[in-house]
Structure formats: C-alpha cells, structure tokens
Chains A and B, each alone.
Chain A
Amino acid sequence: MSEVTRIPTDLRQGSQTAGGIGESKLRPDGTLKVTGEFAYSSDLWHEDMIWGHTLRSPHAHAEIVSVDTSAALAQAGVYAVLTYDDLPAEQKNYGLEIADTPALAAGRVRHHGEPVALVAADHPETARRAAAKIRVEWRELPLVTDEESALAPDAPVLHPGRTDGHARHVPHPNVVHRQPIVRGDAAAAALRADHIVTGEYEFGMQDQAFLGPESGLAVPAEDGGVDLYVATQWLHADRRQIAPVLGLPEDKVRMTLSGVGGAFGGREDLSMQIHACLLALRTGKPVKMVYDRFESFFGHVHRHPARIRYEHGVTADGRITHARCRIVLDGGAYASSTPAVVGNAASLSMGPYVVEDVEIEAVGLYTNNPPCGAMRGFGAVQACFAYEAQMDRLAAAVGMDPVAFRQLNAMSQGSRLPTGQQVDSPAPVAEILRRVQARPLPPERQWESAGGAADVRALPGGLSNTTHGEDVVRGVGYAVGIKNVGFSEGFDDFSTARVRLEAAGGEPVATVHTAAAEVGQGGVTVQAQIARTELGVAQVVIAPADTRVGSAGSTSASRQTYMTGGAVRNACAAVREQVLALGRRKLGTYHPAWATAELLLEGGKVVTDRGEVLADLADVLDGEPPVDVELPFRHRPTEPFDIETGQGFGHVQYSFAAHRAVVEVDTALGLVKVVELACAQDVGKALNPLSVVGQIQGGTTQGLGVAVMEEIVVDPATARVRNPSFTDYLIPTILDTPAIPVDVLELADPHAPYGLRGVGEASTLSATPAVLAAIRQATGLALTRTPVRPEHLTGT
C-alpha cells in the first residue's frame, strides 16, 4: 500500500532563504526557560507596587448574608478592600460567550473558590492576613451537582432571568446550551444492523496544570486608564471583558502580554485581570497579583467532565449502520465557553467515521461544580474517549481486527460529517491508522534487558519498587480522532499582523507585530520563519504582543499558525508588493527585468524568478520611510449549526491523529506503565518540524495524563474540590512519559496558508482512548471511565 503522504505546496518566494518555513529553527525562549532565566508574568516588578489578594468562597453554593471588611481595612499596610458594592460600573459581569460571571460575588456564590473580596496591601502576606479578617456571614443553599439535580422539579435555578442567546431554546434554565444533530433515519437504519452495541462512559475533570500560575501587574495611568501586563491567551478578548467592568472605554485599557507559563485553554477566561485593575484604579498604585498553586486550581476553568451514552449498529460485515449518542457536559457554575464545547462535542461525536444515520444530543449544564471551559481538545476529547471505546466493542462484536474495522468505516476526503458538512481536504484516517499499526512493537519485558535484577524504571510502579515482573501483562490499543481547527459555528475569526520592513545599518530588517499570545507553543518562532520566507531577509524582530495592534484572536483551537501565521504571510505579501513598487520607481531604469520579470525577495536581494539579482534590498529601502503594513486575515466563513437539526457548514478545517498505545499493567496492584505511545498525524505542512513533533508529543502526554492519573476530585456531597495541589493532582513525570515516536504526514489543505493544519490538539484526543484500549486488552476489564484508578483495575 503506497499512499501519498506529502502534497508539496507551491513555495516560489523564499525557497532560497535560510531560517524560513520548513526548517526546525530553535525557539528563542527555549534556553531561557530551561535555565530559569525567562521572565514570566509572576516575575513582574514595578517601583512602588503593592500586592493584591483574593478572598474566595469556602462554599459551593451560598448566600452572602453580610460582609464586614472593617477589621481588614484597619490592618496596617492595607490600601484597599473591595467587594461587589465597590464595582465602579453598571456592568458587573463578564464572560467569554455569556456575561454571567460576577467580577466579585453578588450576594451569592455558585462554586467553591468563587472570588468574594479583594485586598491590596504593601506585602502579599499582609494582604493575605487582612483577607482572613474579612467576616462573611454565609447561608448555605442546596446544591446542583449533576444532571439529575440540575433538572429536578425543585432544582435551584442558578442563573435566573437569563437573556443570553441560548436561553430560549434550552429545555431548562440550568442547561447552558443544547445541540441536537439529526441526519438520515437512525431508526430505519438500525433495522439493518446485525449487532447493536451500547455503552455508557464517564470522563473525569482534567486540569490544564500549566506551570506558571495566574499573575499580572496593573499600572494606573495618568489619563485615568490602566496598563495591564498579564499572561493570557487572547489580549483583545480580555480587554473586551475588562473595560466595561472598570467603566472605561477599551482604548484606556492597554494590555501587554508578559511571560506565559503554559495555557492549554486555562487562560482563555479572565482570572486576576479585572481584580488587579480595580485595585490599581482604586489605590492609584501599581498592583501585582500572583496566585499560588492552590489558588490556581480555583483561578481557572477546567476540562468539562462528561457522561456519555452511545448506541451503534453494525452489520455482520463490519459496516456501521447508525448511531445515537447523548453527551452531558458539566459546565459548572458559569458558562465560560460551554456553548462552543457543546457544539464541538455534538458535531464531532461520530469521530472520523462515516455514519449516515444519526441522532445526537449534547448538553452543557450549569451546576455548583467548578466552572469548566476551554482545554486542549475542547469537547472533541470527551467524545473521542467514548466513541473509540465503542469502535473496539463493535469490532469485537463482528470479530474484526480493531484497526481493520476502523479503516473500513473511516471517513476520507468527500465524506460528510453528521452536520452535513463535506470534508473538502485530505482526510487520511485509514492511512494514519495503518502507519501506527505497522510500526514494530517495542520489545517485551524490557526490565530484564541486562539480566539479573529487574530495572524497576521499566516496570509499573517505577521507582516505588512494587513489582519485579510479577503479574505484569502487556496490552496494545489503538485510537484515532478528529479535531476542528479554528473557531467554528459562524464566528468571525480573524487575526491581524503588522509588518514593517526597513534598512538598518545597511541590512534589511523586518519587524513583525501581532497580538498573538506566545504561550509556549512556538508562535514567535514560526512568525519569524514566515517573515524570512516571505521577505527574503535574515533579520526579523518579533515585537511584544500588545493591544496597540489589531486582535490576533485566541491562542487556542490549534489556530495560531493558521491564523496569525496567515496574517503575517498576508502582510508580508503586501509589504513585498510595496517594496517591489518602490524598487521599480527608484531603480527600474537600470534593468528591463524590473518591468518584465516576476520578482522575488531572496537572501536580502531583489531577484528575478530565474535567479538574476537586480538589487540589494537594503539599497531599495535606504533613505525611504519604512514600508509598514497592518492587515487582518480571515479564514473562510462558517455558519452556525441549525438549532434543531444541527446541520450547517460549521467548521473551518480538521486535524487527524492516530495512536497505538503499548502498556504494561500490574494486574494485582492495578498500576500501569505506558511503554510506548506511537502517533501519526497529518499536519498539512510542517512549518517548523521540530515544534510540530513537540506539540504532538505534548498533546499525547496530556492525553496519557487523563488516562491514568489526572483528575480534579470534587466531593459530590459538598461540591468542594478535594485535591487542589500538585501533591494530589498528579501529572505525568518523565518516568511516566513513554517513548512517543511520531509519524508526520503533510497532505496540504488547499484552503489553508501553505496547506498547513493546526497541530496543537489532535494528539490529545486519541492518546487517552488508545491507552484505555491497551489497558482493557491487558486486563479484560470494560473500563468505561477515565482516568483509570488502581481501584478500577483491582476491583477494590
């Protein structure tokens, strides 16, 4: 079988320039981060700055009967204590999609850890102690913790009087959003099935667990505005939410990105932004806020936990006849991005498979659990965990190899999603499965490699020395997933880039200015590579991301290389045209090719498409004002899903990844060692191959985490978080992280810049179900819940 694995993209301009796209350029922040010298937002400092602190609710649902701040205010060193009553503007709430989140609790808290009051003091410890002196009288309210309690006849309505865009179509006010998808005739198709396979699945609450806690510095300005330096994912969306609560026009809230220590969706929502600004404007002093790890677990949204039910039918020869599914996502106390997560879960619930007849329903709930929102994979992750478990059961029902079964039902270019949208670019689902299956398996019993005593590092339990090979069983599992790239459902998704080209010291220098948040993904590296390719220059300066340039959109949805990369390319092309026009004007008379040939910028020179040099770029630019262009860039438009049928051209692009997991399970202790997690992913075009592999390995590891250890445990009786620390919220160490060989396919998407596909998320989807499938194979257990705990594997 010889499949095409690379569709070359036309790259005339810049193909001769070093450091351009397609090269594995090292990131400028890499060494600084590894050596501890990188300045994160928690390292910000300002002359005369004071410290902000947040008082948070100990209860998940309670009425605030009274608040007494006098003792806190009386403490020496305290500059201000703010509560809801101190909010300066008519607008008290914010929110990414629905403005339902009070900047400070308004008479009622809806989740454990909700911000109630703010303190500014001359020292963080002083602020903390003062906050402890704030007396709040609480009256606890009945809890909403799951679908049953949310929809019960006497359920407390968490957000009475909703006026948001989903309020009219939801079946109950405690449902944030409901998206059905109906296509074909599932009931009729079910009659063709030889086997019906149903399953109920549960996905635990995962945390982004970024290493840099929420932090920033707000500096009051003389014009009554504020300058905010902060680690975020989307400066302009922050500003849109911050300014109205401060009572300021947007242009008086000036934002600059500071060092971001990871994001993974957890910085899409506001955390300390409004709070620091409120304190700065109240006290007239720069205010810094830094969460500690404990507070960070309450300071950002998590991945939606989900309960999922599937029914699939299959014919005896292995064709899926139909599917019904219901996905219930717990959005917690505030909406955050729950509506979009619901839309993703519903529209991608059939996975990368052809299923013509479907009945799908996804709902997002309001509860008193911690708010949930964006996290890498965004709704597609939960669905993939469940539909991939179904695929293994279906394959078993018809006696087929699980990979062959998937390949038989795999979508390909031209297939339709349940939304009716046609997949109009390569969809190499069968091929990526083939590639991970074709890899040689890692050797068995590697802990015995050198004879003699067992190498416990290669065994489940690792350094804890729990087995020397006893009861260790190997399992192999496969999974594949589909993730949308970019913002869907009719959202006006754009990015903006400003590119300036000028001569400096006899050299052409390009400056790229965007508001795109570098959160560790390598965006600044790729932007510089694009500018080198498009302008043929060696020196590219990436200006700090801030709100002096137009919005770049969010660093999420695997979209920044596509969107801001596209914007940089676009702006560079406009700059190139202006430079060539300038050259023709200044130097055109010296050579006829200025008028007749196709001209390129290569190696700091103007050249013809035949490689003849016409001029040094520096000479063209010398003595001229910089060529300076700012342009927005949009992907092709999408449309909302129909609210009853779910039909619509909802997504921009798809990203596909497949995994093969090899695990070894200590079946007596229920401990798991993931030995290898091989991945194959189509990336369209790898602008920076090293970064691409890094993204795929990172996403894979995050998927592994939620397979075997990562979960925020919420006590169902109190809706309180039980493990808000890295002592008890475990993420994989390097000893838990297996070899992750990556096979990168480059099948160009004709609609995307350079044919690229966003790479950041797809590997997060399939890693989890692949690990689960491997553990199921090793143990013979059904395992319908992730993460898997030792108790599940040992029946204890």
Chain B
Amino acid sequence: MDFLRPAGWAEALAAKAEHPAAVPIAGGTDLMVEINFDHRRPEYLLDLNRVAELQEWGTDGGSVRLGASVPYARIVAELRGALPGLARAAHTVASPQIRNRGGVGGNLGTASPAGDAHPALLAAGAEVEVESVRGSRRIPIDEFFTGVKRNALAPDELIKWVHVKKATGPQEFSKVGTRNAMVIAVCAFGIALHPDTRTVRTGIGSAAPTPVRAAAAEEFLTAALAEGNFWDSGRTLPPALAAQFAELAAGACNPIDDVRGSARYRRHAVGVMARRTLGWTWESYRRGTAGPTRGEGAA
C-alpha cells in the first residue's frame, strides 16, 4: 500500500488523476476500520490532511461552503446556527474522539446508507462540489448517491466542498440506535422547513439501499401547508396531517432485515421520527425559535 501525501489541492488532484484507484483519507474514521477489518486493501492511500482548503468553512452569500475535512466537532460547535440539521446529525456521530477526526467528505465518499450526515444534507438540499484536473462541478445531493456505497464521483474526482444553504427555518435530525450514544444508525430521519420557498425537504438514512428523500411525504406536506395557509397563520398542525406525513415517510423506505434491526421496525421507526421531527420543527417555526436541543454542547 503506497501512501501519497500531496502538499496542496492541485497536487492532490494530480495524484488522483495519475492513480484513479487511490483512496482518499482524511480523518480515516471509516477507511481505517475497513482496512483494519481487512475488508479493503487499497493500492494507494491519498492523504488529504495537508490540504488546507478542506479544513475550513466559509460563506457564499446565503450558503455555507463546508470543507470536506472540517471535523464534525467543529460543525457542532461552529455551525449550529447556520446548519442546525447537519450540526445535530454531526453530534450523533460516534464518540468525541471520532468527531474530532471525521468530516462530511468522508461520509459522502463512503456513501453508506447509514452515513449520519446524509439525511441532513438531503433535507437541506446541499450540493457537493467535486473537482479533478479536468475541472470542477457541483452535484446536487439528490443525484449524489447512486447505489449501495456508491456515489456520483468520477474516478479522478475528489470532494472539495459541500455547499449548504443557511437554514431559513427549523431543522431536525433523529437517529435510532440500540444504544444511547456511539451507535450506527438503525435508521435516521432529517427534516428541514424552508419558509423562504414554502417547501419542506427530508432525508432518510439506513432504510433503503441509499440515503433517500421521502418525496411523496414532502409533496404532500408542502401542498397541505400551502392549502391550509399554515405558513402565514402559524397554526398548529392537525394530528391527522402529521400522521399522513409519517405514513408517507415510512412508505419511502425500502429497508432490509439485518443484525441491527428488522425491515419492519425500520419502516415503523422512520414513521415515528417523521411525525415527531415535523412536530418539533413546526412548533419552532410557529414560535419563531429554533433553539437547540440541550445536551448538544456536552458529552
């Protein structure tokens, strides 16, 4: 196994062009597990830790430009206001040690259906900016996940930034695991209210071969909110509406039975999380607040 250590982004792209089979490594929190378990023996590792651009985030107007290697711990600490859904998801990632190393770029690169960032990125409508020596392009998150642990990257491309619109409304993220911390998702659900466009977006993790949006649930809710003039009136949502949304969200799942949970449970749990997170976000919207859940800064 050869270890390539580019000093900067241009060198990294050149190395990736020369060795398309090279596997990028930043925090290594996914990849090193694969290597330790001997599931994977890449011919080349491409170390991105010396690429400064990847470690920083900035803003472009109404969006956050998040470097692929910005660790989850910093997302939790620094982006809670701008990207509340992603920050909440970041806080459910593994342990403090892992959150100090791992970042969204690795989550996207692995493209596991269980990646914690994915439901939040789907709900926020993020774009992934990838680059190669041939140039750069932005891939909408909806088109990014192409199969089980597969993504839309070309062999010579690297993930540089993730562009996420700053939240204009409340966002939530929920994840079921059979332990109260440090657990891989049995299933997960993200939701973002977008009052500026009067739309709602969602993301489901670990309940289909790829992370997916609950499209029918979103369409139903967006239409129902408009019809009932809810955005303007700020009325409480009728329970039947939330129940219908939950049922449609559960219907968007295509889960499997595995050692972590049954397909039936996953579908059920996604419905419960959809109902609850809709309730929380809508209540925040009504009250004009989006206060963080306590406990987020600690542990």
| Contact status B38-A463, CB under 8 Å | no
| Contact status B261-A735, CB under 8 Å | no
- Chain A, residues 720-740, CB within 8 Å of chain B (1/0): the string is 001101011010110110000
Q: With the chains together, A733 CA to B186 CA distance in Å?
A: 17
Chain B, residue nearest A708 (CB):
B178
Residues of chain B lying within 8 A (CB to CB) of residue A668? 272
Q: Does A128 contact B (CB under 8 A)?
A: yes
Chain-A contact segment, one of B102-110, B169-177, B195-203: B169-177
Q: Does A629 contact B (CB under 8 A)?
A: no
Q: With the chains together, A456 CA to B180 CA distance in Å?
A: 10
Residues of chain B lying within 8 A (CB to CB) of residue A160? none
| Contact status B265-A723, CB under 8 Å | no
Chain-B contact segment, one of A183-191, A309-317, A371-379, A446-454: A446-454
Q: With the chains together, A450 CA to B259 CA distance in Å?
A: 38
Task: Select A736's contact among B175, B181, B294, beta carbons within 8 Å.
Answer: B181
Chain A, residue nearest B260 (CB):
A728
Q: Does A292 contact B (CB under 8 A)?
A: yes
- Chain A, residues 637-679, CB within 8 Å of chain B (1/0): the string is 0000000000000000000000000000000111101000000
Task: Select B295's contact among A128, A292, A463, A796, beta carbons within 8 Å.
Answer: A463
Q: With the chains together, A680 CA to B265 CA distance in Å?
A: 37
| Contact status A709-B179, CB under 8 Å | yes
- Chain B, residues 260-299, CB within 8 Å of chain A (1/0): the string is 1110110111001100100110000000000111111011
Q: Does B88 contact A (CB under 8 A)?
A: yes
Residues of chain B lying within 8 A (CB to CB) of residue A172? none
Q: Does A465 contact B (CB under 8 A)?
A: yes
Q: Does B65 contact A (CB under 8 A)?
A: no
Q: With the chains together, A458 CA to B296 CA distance in Å?
A: 12
Interface hub of B176, B180, B299 (most chain A Cβ within 10 A): B180
Task: Select B280's contact among A455, A468, A713, A796, beta carbons within 8 Å.
Answer: A468
- Contacts A669-B272, A794-B268 given; does A463 touch B294 at CB 8 Å: no
| Contact status B259-A728, CB under 8 Å | yes
| Contact status A294-B260, CB under 8 Å | no
Task: Select B299's contact among A294, A457, A460, A794, beta carbons within 8 Å.
Answer: A457
Q: Does A470 contact B (CB under 8 A)?
A: yes
Q: Give min CB distance, B28 to chain A, whole Å.
A: 16
| Contact status A465-B259, CB under 8 Å | no
Q: Does A70 contact B (CB under 8 A)?
A: no
Q: Please report the total number of B residues contacting A with Cβ < 8 Å.
A: 43
| Contact status B182-A733, CB under 8 Å | yes
| Contact status B295-A736, CB under 8 Å | no
- Contacts A466-B273, A736-B181 given; does A292 touch B36 at CB 8 Å: yes
Q: With the chains together, A713 CA to B260 CA distance in Å?
A: 10
Q: With the chains together, A673 CA to B174 CA distance in Å?
A: 16
Q: Please report the total number of A residues contacting B with Cβ < 8 Å.
A: 44
| Contact status B92-A453, CB under 8 Å | no
Q: With the chains together, A467 CA to B180 CA distance in Å?
A: 12
| Contact status A464-B37, CB under 8 Å | no
Q: Does A462 contact B (CB under 8 A)?
A: yes
Q: With the chains together, A468 CA to B276 CA distance in Å?
A: 9
| Contact status A456-B295, CB under 8 Å | yes
Q: Does A598 contact B (CB under 8 A)?
A: no
Q: Give min CB distance, B66 to chain A, whole Å.
A: 21
Task: Select B292's contact among A453, A463, A673, A708, beta carbons within 8 Å.
Answer: A453
Task: Select A730's contact among B91, B178, B264, B272, beta carbons within 8 Å.
Answer: B178
Q: Does B184 contact A (CB under 8 A)?
A: yes
- Contacts A453-B294, A454-B294, A464-B92 given; does A673 touch B180 at CB 8 Å: yes
Residues of chain A lying within 8 A (CB to CB) of residue B33? 727
Residues of chain B lying within 8 A (CB to CB) of residue A741? none
Q: Does A789 contact B (CB under 8 A)?
A: yes
Q: Give min CB distance, A304 to chain B, whole Å.
A: 21
| Contact status A128-B38, CB under 8 Å | yes
Chain B, residue nearest A709 (CB):
B178
Residues of chain A lying within 8 A (CB to CB) of residue B223? none
Q: With the chains together, A294 CA to B186 CA distance in Å?
A: 21
Q: Does A791 contact B (CB under 8 A)?
A: yes
Interface hub of A128, A292, A457, A673 (most chain B Cβ within 10 A): A457
Residues of chain A lying within 8 A (CB to CB) of residue B276? 466-468, 470
Task: Select B294's contact among A292, A455, A723, A794, beta carbons within 8 Å.
Answer: A455
| Contact status B259-A456, CB under 8 Å | no
Interface hub of B172, B181, B184 (most chain A Cβ within 10 A): B181
- Contacts A728-B260, A791-B261 given; does A464 touch B183 at CB 8 Å: yes
| Contact status B176-A465, CB under 8 Å | no
Residues of chain A lying within 8 A (CB to CB) of residue B298? 457
Q: With the chains together, A470 CA to B277 CA distance in Å?
A: 11
Chain B, residue nearest A731 (CB):
B179
Q: Give min CB distance, A306 to chain B, whole Å.
A: 21
Q: With the chains together, A652 CA to B180 CA distance in Å?
A: 40
Given contacts A465-B175, A796-B262, 20 further A-B contacts (CB under 8 A): A453-B291, A453-B293, A456-B293, A456-B294, A457-B298, A458-B295, A465-B92, A466-B174, A723-B259, A727-B33, A730-B178, A732-B179, A735-B180, A736-B181, A790-B269, A791-B262, A791-B264, A791-B265, A794-B268, A796-B268
Instruction: Give B residues with C-beta under 8 Å from A.
Output: 33, 36-38, 88, 91-92, 172-184, 186, 259-262, 264-265, 267-269, 272-273, 276, 279-280, 291-296, 298-299
The 5 closest A-B pairs by CB, nearest first: A462-B180, A796-B265, A464-B175, A457-B295, A735-B181
Report 29 cross-chain contacts, Cβ distance below 8 Å, ordered by A residue.
Answer: A450-B294, A452-B291, A453-B294, A455-B295, A461-B176, A463-B91, A463-B295, A464-B175, A464-B176, A465-B88, A465-B172, A466-B174, A466-B175, A470-B276, A669-B176, A669-B273, A671-B176, A708-B178, A709-B179, A723-B259, A727-B184, A732-B179, A735-B180, A789-B178, A791-B264, A794-B269, A796-B264, A796-B267, A796-B268
